[in-house]
Amino acid sequence: MNKHASPSLTAKTIVGGVASSQRHDSAHKHVTGQAVYIDDMPEPAGLLHAYLGLSTVPHAAIVSMDLSAVRAAPGVVDVLTGHDMPASNDISPTHRHDEPVLATDKVQFLGQPIFAVVAETREQARRACKLAKIEYAEEPFVTDILDLDRREGKLVTPPLTLKRGDAAAAIEAAPRRLKGTMQLGGQDHFYLEGHIAMAVPGEDMDVTLYSSTQHPSEVQHMVAQVLGVPSHAVTVEIRRMGGGFGGKETQGNQFAAIAAVAAKRHGRAVKIRPDRDDDMTATGKRHDFVIDYDVGFDDEGAILGVDYFFAARAGFSADLSGAVTDRALFHCDNTYYYPAVKAQSAPLYTNTVSNTAFRGFGGPQGIVGCERVIDEVAFALGKDPLEIRKRNFYGTTDRNVTPYHQTVEDNIIHRIVEELETGADYAGRRKAIAAFNAGSPVLKRGLALTPVKFGISFTATHFNQAGALVHVYADGSVHLNHGGTEMGQGLYVKIAQVVAEEFQIDIDQVKITATTTAKVPNTSATAASSGTDLNGMAAQAAARTIRQRLTDFAAEKYQVPTDQVVFLPNRVRVGNQEIAFGALTQQAYMARVQLSATGFYKTPKIHWDRDKGQGTPFYYFAYGAACAEVEIDTLTGETMVERVDILHETGRSLNKAIDIGQIEGGFIQGMGWLTTEELVWDGKGRLRTHAPSTYKIPLASDRPKIFNVTLADWPEAGEPTIHRSKAVGEPPFCLGIAVFHAISDAVASAADHRICPRLDAPATPERVLMAVERLKREAGA
């Protein structure tokens, strides 16, 4: 898109329509360094820099705060505390009033922002922060939910219970029963671009924010609330983020609010960007869980009843923990039918940073808990876990009601798994691995095939709406705007493809523009894999409105029926003549036809009654499966991913290249969560893994040695989604679970597959080795 060519007027198809592997719209700017992130923007004259002062204890009353040395430090212009917030010191995204911009009387985790320094340079602000003298009266603290009574601990937000049938009775009556507990670690987003906001003050009450956020409307509302101004005074814009993954759904509010307050106080633009260590310390992460399960099953491995208790480390405030733990429950069935089920959540208060959204939003944690139960049943019966998985799959016409009473109507997991099982030669490799392990005393191989069913829609029904704004200029070029944000996932290009398709114009005629609250209001976060589903439909609606006007105009002007106005590639056939798209739009302009329109979409069918735990929270489900083979070293616990085969579906893909990128990237991120990525808090409440030196996301050399990713070409969305495509952001993240189970399978060989390894996550070399040692002991005992 860097060169502007005249569109072909004879082409059979447009360039960059739907179902084409259009490259990312910014690819050429990414590789040349010309893609502008917020820290790269030209800075307004007089720009000031803010930096956060963080608490150094995990739980305490603030006795006194002496900031005089901070104020006196070189370059310092201002120091803000929570008392300096003009109208409200509250940025709780769920309005529970539990999250201050800056802590005033108490701190609830180590690293909580207490004050902000505003200085001429970022370095001056950062250095000055170190000069604060804060006296604390420390109070007892808890960072680890294992140290809590998980059933009785303080919650940050109300829990959820899902129930169908009488789980307790079913478990009691089942021929076999077992219980267990699993620890499942959290995850830092590690977006490469950390949090950042720049506020530019305007006239009257106005302020414009450039914020690295997935949720511009929420930043707008929070900033307005803190400043005490109407939403119309606050404009939030974001062209692109350097990664989000959920970490910028709510967590950008704080930075934006501080920048805005400082900007209005001084009438100067203010930028705030924490260092990576502070970003990781002071912003929320994926929830870690302790999952208790109690399952009853028969001798063939059919689950008869199951009881789950999903306890999560929520941190000091609610943030999104309610919805995250809800979604864990919504996925505790994965692809399996439970005749009777009870599942409860417990979003527990801890003196840690408030955990937040992260790709999958609790769903992956629910699936991991579920897959552990499958493994337990398999080991108890001496069967291959894949056999147990298949035995418990949802049916297509019966055995298809979820724990939340939604009927699964689009189940394709049988075919997905069957094709993958055959394509990856699961059975043959299972035998080969057994033979390898028999002859290899130190290295052990493991194999696992795990399925994914992921529910698509925000479970908060009102978020399932989107708006778009499309302008067609007189020359036929198009300006596209919508409420979705671009964080790398390719949303912008997909929506541009949708609009290009509607007008039948080459994609380079469609200008993709920065997301801004000034063009499309009241938007939802770009989250829950919904970006394309929602915004694509909204943009399509806007384009269709304009196209209809053009059709009506052409029909009238050329005196033909409207069905003789046909949009062909870059031209319109009107009766017997073809008119270039840009010529028709010029004529329409001259005839005073409105060539700008908004579009709106709300997802049909869905509803959810949280109090009853019943409803249809999901518009549809996305499916996939992965088969992983690993090798472990039973002397050190080191692992190697030898091969992974993936079969995943995105309905009728809008853009296979983008979708495969999401699948590959999601898989690796999910694998990292369950293998090398470990969050460690020390005995003083300090997060010790707060930078890439200590927190290890996957590298190129952690990829599977053989990595076969296939996009199933036969499914299409059962519902009328945008061009019958399906969401792809989160579901493939859960494919990484196959690696975890393959490691577990390899560990199990240490005791001849007679004992369920009960491996906790992440499966670091340490956890793998300790599990091997435990199995050897138990097998010997």
Partner 1 sequence: MIQAETQIRFLLNGAEIALSDVRPDETLLDWLRLSRALRGTKEGCAEGDCGACTVLVGRPTPDGLVYEGVNACIRFLGSLHGCHVVTVEHLKGEGGALHPVQQAMVDFHGSQCGFCTPGFVMSLYAMWMQDPDPSEAAVEKALQGNLCRCTGYEPIVKAARAISSYGTLEEDFLAAERTAVAERLAAIRAGGRVEVGTGKDRFVLPASVDDLAAVLEAEPMATIVAGSTDVGLWVTKFMRDIAPVVFIGHLGDLKTISERDGVLTIGAGVSYTDAFETLSRRIPAMGPLIDRIGGAQVRNMGTIGGNIANGSPIGDMPPPLIALGASVTLRKGGARRTIALEDFFVAYGKQDRQPGEFVEAVHVPVPSAETQFAAWKVTKRRDEDITAVLGAFTLSIEDGVVRAARIAYGGMAATPKRAKGVEAALVGQPWTLETVEAAMDVYPSDFQPISDMRASAEYRMLAARNLLKRFFLVHGGAEMPVTVSRERAA
What's 405's DSSP letter? S
In b/e form, how buried is each residue of 702-735, taking b as 16+ CB within 10 angstroms?
Answer: bebeeeebbbbeebbbbbebbbbbbbbbbbbbbb
Answer yes or no whether residue 473 interacts with partner 1 by CB under 8 A.
no
Give dist(CA 757, CA 775) in Å, integer.
7
Give dist(CA 226, CA 257) in Å, integer.
7
Encoded amino acid at 210, one letter? Y
Give the residue, chosen from 5, 12, 33, 140, that forms a contact with partner 1 under the rule CB under 8 A: 33
Answer yes or no whether residue 19 interacts with partner 1 by CB under 8 A.
no
- Window contacting partner 1 (CB under 8 A); options: 150-158, 420-428, 486-494, 509-517: 486-494
Shortest CB 635 distance to partner 1, Å = 4
Give the residue, chosen from 63, 427, 435, 635, that forms a contact with partner 1 under the rule CB under 8 A: 635
Answer yes or no whether residue 35 interacts with partner 1 by CB under 8 A.
yes
Shortest CB 641 distance to partner 1, Å = 9
Answer yes or no whether residue 147 interacts with partner 1 by CB under 8 A.
no
685: which 2 tokens?
Answer: 């409440």
Shortest CB 781 distance to partner 1, Å = 19
- Window contacting partner 1 (CB under 8 A); options: 145-153, 329-337, 592-600, 658-666: 658-666
What's 701's DSSP letter? G
Give the residue, chosen from 20, 48, 126, 775, that forms a contact with partner 1 under the rule CB under 8 A: 126
Answer yes or no whether residue 659 interacts with partner 1 by CB under 8 A.
no
Kind and range of the H or E run holding 508: none
Footprint of partner 1 on residues 65-124 (CB under 8 A)?
none
Answer yes or no whether residue 430 interacts with partner 1 by CB under 8 A.
no
Shortest CB 286 distance to partner 1, Å = 13
Give dist(CA 418, CA 422) in Å, integer.
6
Answer yes or no whether residue 701 interacts with partner 1 by CB under 8 A.
yes
Number of residues located near partner 1, criterion CB under 8 A: 94
| 413-423 and 385-392 helices, crossing angle to 10° | 160
Report which of 650, 642, 666, 640 is spatially closest to residue 735, judged by C-alpha positions. Answer: 666
Cβ closest to partner 1, residue 133 vs residue 605: 133
- Window contacting partner 1 (CB under 8 A); options: 86-94, 202-210, 407-415, 706-714: 706-714
Footprint of partner 1 on residues 272-331 (CB under 8 A)?
275-277
Shortest CB 522 distance to partner 1, Å = 26
Cβ closest to partner 1, residue 23 vs residue 471: 23
3-state secondary structure of 178: strand
Answer yes or no whether residue 434 interacts with partner 1 by CB under 8 A.
no
Give the residue, chosen from 223, 658, 748, 759, that forms a contact with partner 1 under the rule CB under 8 A: 658
Cβ closest to partner 1, residue 191 vs residue 361: 191
- Window contacting partner 1 (CB under 8 A); options: 69-77, 303-311, 459-467, 703-711: 703-711
Give dist(CA 239, CA 213) in Å, integer.
10
Length of the chain equals 781
Shortest CB 295 distance to partner 1, Å = 31
3-state secondary structure of 187: strand
Give dist(CA 310, CA 305) in Å, integer.
16
Shortest CB 712 distance to partner 1, Å = 18
Give the residue, chosen from 51, 109, 190, 621, that forms a contact with partner 1 under the rule CB under 8 A: 190
Residue 269 β-bridge partners: none
Phi then psi for residue 725, to 5 deg, are: -90, 170
- Window contacting partner 1 (CB under 8 A); options: 434-442, 463-471, 500-508, 753-761: 434-442
Give the residue, chosen from 16, 364, 488, 582, that forms a contact with partner 1 under the rule CB under 8 A: 488
Give dist(CA 86, CA 228) in Å, integer.
7
Footprint of partner 1 on residues 371-400 (CB under 8 A)?
none
Give dist(CA 204, CA 221) in Å, integer.
18
Contacts of residue 410, defined as CB under 8 A and 6 or more positions apart, other chains included, come to: 620, 621, 717, 718, 719
Give the residue, chosen from 73, 107, 184, 487, that forms a contact with partner 1 under the rule CB under 8 A: 487
Phi then psi for residue 741, to 5 deg, are: -75, -30
Answer yes or no whether residue 629 interacts with partner 1 by CB under 8 A.
yes
Instruction: Encode 441-481 in three state secondary structure.
Output: CCEEEEEEEEEEEEEECCCCHHHCEEEEEEEECCCCCEEEE
**Maximum distance among all Cα pairs of the chain, rounded to whole angstroms:** 91
Answer yes or no whether residue 23 interacts with partner 1 by CB under 8 A.
yes
Residue 230 CB neighbour total at 10 angstroms: 9
Answer yes or no whether residue 10 interacts with partner 1 by CB under 8 A.
no
Shortest CB 285 distance to partner 1, Å = 14
Give the residue, chosen from 153, 180, 202, 243, that forms a contact with partner 1 under the rule CB under 8 A: 243
Please give the C-alpha separations between residue 413 and each of 332, 430, 453, 681, 721, in angstroms, as whole numbers: 16, 21, 8, 39, 20
Cβ closest to partner 1, residue 151 vs residue 688: 688
Phi then psi for residue 616, to 5 deg, are: -125, 80
Footprint of partner 1 on residues 568-627 (CB under 8 A)?
none
Answer yes or no whether residue 32 interacts with partner 1 by CB under 8 A.
yes
Beta strands in 216-340 (DSSP E): 234-238, 270-272, 289-297, 303-315
What's 7's DSSP letter? P
Cβ closest to partner 1, residue 75 vs residue 665: 665
Answer yes or no whether residue 242 interacts with partner 1 by CB under 8 A.
yes
Shortest CB 660 distance to partner 1, Å = 8
Q: Is 63 left (phi over 0), alpha (psi -120 to 50) or beta?
A: alpha
Give the residue, chosen from 87, 591, 699, 779, that forms a contact with partner 1 under the rule CB under 8 A: 699
The catalytic position among 249, 376, 631, 730 is: 730
Answer yes or no whether residue 508 interacts with partner 1 by CB under 8 A.
no
Give the residue, chosen from 37, 473, 558, 589, that forms a contact with partner 1 under the rule CB under 8 A: 37
How far is Cα of residue 106 from the mean position of the Cα atoms in its chain? Answer: 31
Footprint of partner 1 on residues 264-283 (CB under 8 A)?
275-277
**The 303-315 sheet, strands edge to edge:** 161-164, 341-349, 303-315, 289-297, 176-184
Cβ closest to partner 1, residue 232 vs residue 705: 705
Cβ closest to partner 1, residue 376 vs residue 629: 629
Shortest CB 127 distance to partner 1, Å = 6
Give the residue, chosen from 245, 297, 349, 621, that forms a contact with partner 1 under the rule CB under 8 A: 245
Give the residue, chosen from 766, 777, 778, 779, that forms a contact with partner 1 under the rule CB under 8 A: 766
Report which of 200, 214, 395, 229 is spatially closest to residue 302, judged by C-alpha positions. Answer: 395
Spatial contact of 392 and 451, defined as CB atoms under 8 Å apart: no
Answer yes or no whether residue 144 interacts with partner 1 by CB under 8 A.
no
Spatial contact of 468 and 541, defined as CB atoms under 8 Å apart: yes
Contacts of residue 736, defined as CB under 8 A and 6 or more positions apart, other chains included, come to: 626, 666, 667, 668, 669, 670, 671, 672, 673, 674
Answer yes or no whether residue 24 interacts with partner 1 by CB under 8 A.
yes
Shortest CB 663 distance to partner 1, Å = 9
Footprint of partner 1 on residues 669-698 (CB under 8 A)?
669, 676, 678, 680, 682, 688-689, 691-694, 696-698
- Window contacting partner 1 (CB under 8 A); options: 134-142, 417-425, 546-554, 634-642: 634-642
Cα radius of gyration (the chain)? 27
Cβ closest to partner 1, residue 71 vs residue 276: 276
Shortest CB 38 distance to partner 1, Å = 11
Beta-sheet pairing, 303-315 with 133-138: unpaired
Shortest CB 648 distance to partner 1, Å = 13
Encoded amino acid at 114, one letter? I
502 is catalytic: no
Active centre residues (catalytic): 730
